[in-house]
Amino acid sequence: MDDSQYNRFGKGSFSGLEVLTNAQKMVELAPEDDLDAYTDLYYLLKGWYFFRTTMNMGDIPYSEALDIDTYRYPKCDEQKEVFKGILSDLALADEYFAKATRAFSGDPFYLGEPDKWRKAANVLRLKVLISLSKRADDTPELQIKETFAKVVSENNLFESNDDNLQVVYSDKEGQKNPYHVTETRSIEYYAATNTLIEPLKKFKDNRLFYYLAPAEALTNELYLPAGETLKNPNDWDAYLGVDVAGVYDTEKDKIAKRLHSRPNDVYRYNYVGVPCIRLGYADMNFIMAEAAERGWINQSAQSLYEKGVRASFEFVRPTVPAEYNNGVEITDEYIDSYLKGEYVAYKTDGSSTDRLKQIWIQAYLARYFHMATDDYYEYRRNNYPEFPINPETNLNDAKDKIPMRYMYPESETNYNKEQLYEALNRQWGGVDDVNEIMWILK
């Protein structure tokens, strides 16, 4: 039983921030010719780690966090100030990547190409800015809309899936797909949920057959329940989800009886597997589509939305070989027809909220096995897609809610108590609770 699935959240971690002290040394030890490249990489990592950490907990150490010789007990900066710093760091990453003149060594992602890293830094800037949507109109000092528009207009962004910042696996030792059954034996019991399967079926979305394996109980006569008819792997009805908030023993029984869809065989039995995206072209287009729908940029939200959908299909199609697609093809003609489907075609005559929901659900579907934490962040920001909450199974003290944050690390209680209490008093009257609402979500 997974605690976080049933909404029992515990302590967060500052471990990412500790890594940044090593990144500082990377810059200090860089050869002169590589200094710009390693400096920009440092600022990208700095922005990324502080972003993830503040998104998890709220106010965190920033201004004093990395000067460990001067500040033994770093203060927690207000979240607004942390975001000011993050946006400044990512702007510096863009600036230094623009100055870097040659590739740097030891890079398994982009082979040290500064132009590729510059695009990634700017896509991360867009992600950070869209996460601030609730504060776009009441925090003029962050220039959220203006900065977003500026980054888009400068056009140093991903141009295709080839630009994705992603981990690519191989059949070599140390580089194998970590979900392979020899690496993660529990992968055989991973179960897709109705939250994922229902929209895929509703939209007649062929990614279903590339993402998942059919339920063994319905496609293998060894496990076929009495009275059921054997189904083909390309039958929509052969795919079954579990209720992510369901009674644990009930859902576990479905899995024991093989009445669930596992991840596609390519994840479980292929050492190369599927690349794992951390920043992606499809996701970037959905972020820009939302910004266009909100009026932040003067571009067609529909066009960007459709680009995002196409990019997801065009990523899935070549990364899941034919022997793993359960007999279903994703063709160009299929993608064209999918975009015209009843539930997928962009609702130009609907409300803006309807259109935003279309963008968010497609972004969610495209993130299968990628950027998993982002779905939690997006749920908090948009309450969409609607994650099921069952008071009977919810391990959160607030039985009708999903937690909104992680608590501060135990290390802060043990070693930085005064600064921690100051941050808690400022934010939530001294309470460190998973249900408190951080500044970015108010």
**Residue 60 phi, psi dihedral angles, 5° rounding:** -145, 165
Number of H helices, E strands in the chain: 17, 4
Q: What single letter denotes the amino acid at residue 249?
A: D
Separation CA 50–CA 42 (nearest Å): 12
| DSSP β-bridge partners for residue 228 | none
Residues 148/91, Cβ–Cβ less than 8 Å:
no
Q: List per-residue pLDDT tens for the chain, 442 residues long.
A: 789 999 999 999 999 998 999 999 999 999 998 899 999 999 999 999 999 999 999 999 999 999 988 999 999 999 999 999 999 999 999 999 999 988 888 899 999 999 999 999 999 999 999 999 999 999 999 999 999 999 999 999 999 999 999 999 999 999 999 999 999 999 999 999 999 999 999 999 999 999 999 999 999 999 999 988 999 999 999 999 999 999 999 999 999 999 999 999 999 999 999 999 999 999 999 999 999 999 999 999 999 999 999 999 999 999 999 999 999 999 999 999 999 999 999 999 989 999 999 999 999 999 999 998 999 999 999 999 999 999 999 999 999 999 999 999 999 999 999 999 999 999 999 999 999 999 999 9
Show the CA angle centred on residue 132, arms to residues 356 and 40, nearest 5°: 115
**Residue 407: strand, helix, or coil:** strand
Closest C-alpha to 11, from 312, 432, 389, 322: 432
Q: Where are the beta strands (DSSP E) in 69-183?
A: 76-77, 165-167
The distance in angstroms from the start CA to the end CA of the chain is 32
Residues 37/114, Cβ–Cβ less than 8 Å:
yes
The model's pTM is: 0.97
Residues 188/181, Cβ–Cβ less than 8 Å:
yes
